[in-house]
Amino acid sequence: MLRLIFWVIKWGGFALLILILAHTVEWKGRTVSDQLRVSLAKARTTDEYRELRNWTDRFIEGKPRQGTGRRGGNSSAQEIAPNEREKLKQLLRELQDD
């Protein structure tokens, strides 16, 4: 058990060290973190990225998506009844007046 705890602490410390170094070490006038961000942004415009994106969309197409995220989920399941909607609007107006 102690070996597992030591292993987690060791790798957690290593990951923390890498994050700190990526934000402090400069390379070509920018931090390593900024270099990675720019490189990934450029990679998104390549044909390989689009092809991979299309492949994953086709792969996931037949499976129901899990989690709602920002897009919501099934809109019919999240539909709000009109009377509840009015109550919410009234509550928001009261909160804004206060």
pLDDT, tens digit, for every residue of 15-60? 999 999 998 988 888 898 998 888 888 888 888 888 888 888 887 8
The count of other CB atoms within 10 Å of the CB of residue 84 is 10
Average pLDDT in the chain = 82
pLDDT for res 46: 87
Query: Would you call 70 helix, strand, or coil by DSSP?
Result: coil
Partnered with residue 27 across adjacent β-strands are 30
What is the mean predicted confidence (pLDDT) over 6-23?
95
pLDDT for res 20: 94
What is the mean predicted confidence (pLDDT) over 6-16?
96
Domain extent listing, the chain: 1-61
* % of residues, the chain, pLDDT over 70: 82
pLDDT for res 12: 97
Does residue 47 contact residue 53 with C-beta atoms inside 8 Å?
no
Of residues 77 and 94, more confidently modeled: 94
Measured between alpha carbons, how far is 23 from 30 in angstroms, rounded to an integer?
9
